[in-house]
Amino acid sequence: LALQTPPSDSQEIPSDVLQAEDGRQALQLDMVLHAPTLLMPDDCSSASASCLKVNLGKLHLTTGQPTADTDVFHMALTDTQAEVCDYQPSTGEVTNSRPIFSRAGESSVTVHKAVAKSSERPDVEMTVDVSRITTVISDVLLSSLSGIARSIAVKRQEALDEIATADGVELVATTSGADSLELSTEVLTSGSSSSEMALKVTFEGLGVELVTGTQELACLALETLSVAARQTASGTLKLEVGVGSLTLTDSCSPSKDSLSAIVSSDTAQTGEGVSGDLLALCVEQEESALRVEVALQPLRVVYNPYLTERLLEYGQCLAAASESASLALQTPPSDPQQGTVQPAVQ
């Protein structure tokens, strides 16, 4: 390792330091964090266990080019997904994948932090772009999740009982020290009233496929959700929410080819000066005054008896599966005749 000292008249800047327009130096950051993939099998001893697999994705942290009065930070999240699959612990092989949700593209957060007060820009300005999310909701998938939850709860209780029997002591889950986790509200809010902040969130959309067995019933699409909020140093707050469009598409009834859109937002007939979004909400608060404006565009709804009955049956099936999954998360009690000890909570 050789360390070279530049001449005294050199103004070289280290490669990991950015220089703003006014010569101010700022730290350059470029980090890639690969989050873990979580595997939750219903039975670790099984040769091919049903498993919940969650990929938390990849986080990329960078700094942008600073200006004379602003530092820029950028975060990007990619490759997040979740699925139910069959998992072989011995080989790590995954088969029979049934996706829960997936994302296209990257989701990003850009933060502009002012280094000096200015009336032209907020102290903190955050821009969030969330990529489109596609998810599948099916009775088979919920049954698989319910089975995994139930098995995990049973195996956990068996492990607790075995440990308690082997050690001859009572297992205690304590919450001591929880008070140390409490944060002072005064510390969190100090100075916040004198800061000006701006937030802008853009969500590309959400696609939900409703499936029973192997048949797709319908597809729900929500396009372009946007949220913009701004708080001034004087305490004035302005919030704007917009929803682009909503569509429910028929995928199973005999009339699906002739009339596929069962529910659709009608934004083609909006008048001049009216937002084309399905929903436009604006809330402004200034001192003791509160102003709320709501613009809702018309929806076209077509009654389809065949699809309606199928969706009602589907809803009942999902409700039963959800209730089963909820009950599975509750740890079953031990059999007192086996001499096991119940976990105690202080």
The string of pLDDT tens digits covering residues 103-150 is: 877 899 999 988 877 777 888 999 999 999 888 888 777 777 777 777
Neighbours of 190 (CB within 10 A): 10
280 DSSP assignment: E
Tell me the CA distances in angstroms from 318 to 50, 183, 219, 306, 322, one per residue in order.
20, 40, 16, 18, 6
Q: What are 250's two structure tokens?
A: 């028929």
pLDDT-derived band of residue 219, with 50, 70 and 90 as boundaries? very high
pLDDT-derived band of residue 194, with 50, 70 and 90 as boundaries? low
Give the max Cα distance, the chain: 85
Give the separation between CA 243 and CA 227, rounded to whole angstroms: 9
Q: What secondary structure does DSSP assign to 4-48, as a single string?
A: -PPPTT-----TTEEE-TTS-EEE--EEEEEPPEEEEES-TTSSS
For residues 153 and 330, the answer to whether their CB atoms sit within 8 Å is yes
Query: So what's the pLDDT on residue 49?
Result: 76
Q: What are 200's two structure tokens?
A: 């802008």
3-state secondary structure of 199: strand
Give the separation between CA 130 and CA 227, rounded to whole angstroms: 12
Q: What are 235's two structure tokens?
A: 């305490």
Of the given ranges (8-22, 94-108, 321-335), which has the lowest mean pLDDT?
Answer: 8-22
Q: What are 100's two structure tokens?
A: 């829960």
The predicted model gives 145-165 an average pLDDT of 78
Give the separation between CA 324 and CA 225, rounded to whole angstroms: 33
Tell me the CA end-to-end span of the chain in Å, nearest whole number.
Answer: 56
Query: So what's the pLDDT on residue 119?
Result: 74
Kindly give the residue spans of alpha helices, DSSP state H, lying in the chain. 139-167, 185-189, 305-328
Give the separation between CA 80 and CA 62, rounded to whole angstroms: 19
pLDDT-derived band of residue 20, with 50, 70 and 90 as boundaries? low
Q: What is the mean pLDDT of the chain?
A: 76
The packing angle between helices 139-167 and 305-328, to 10°, is 10
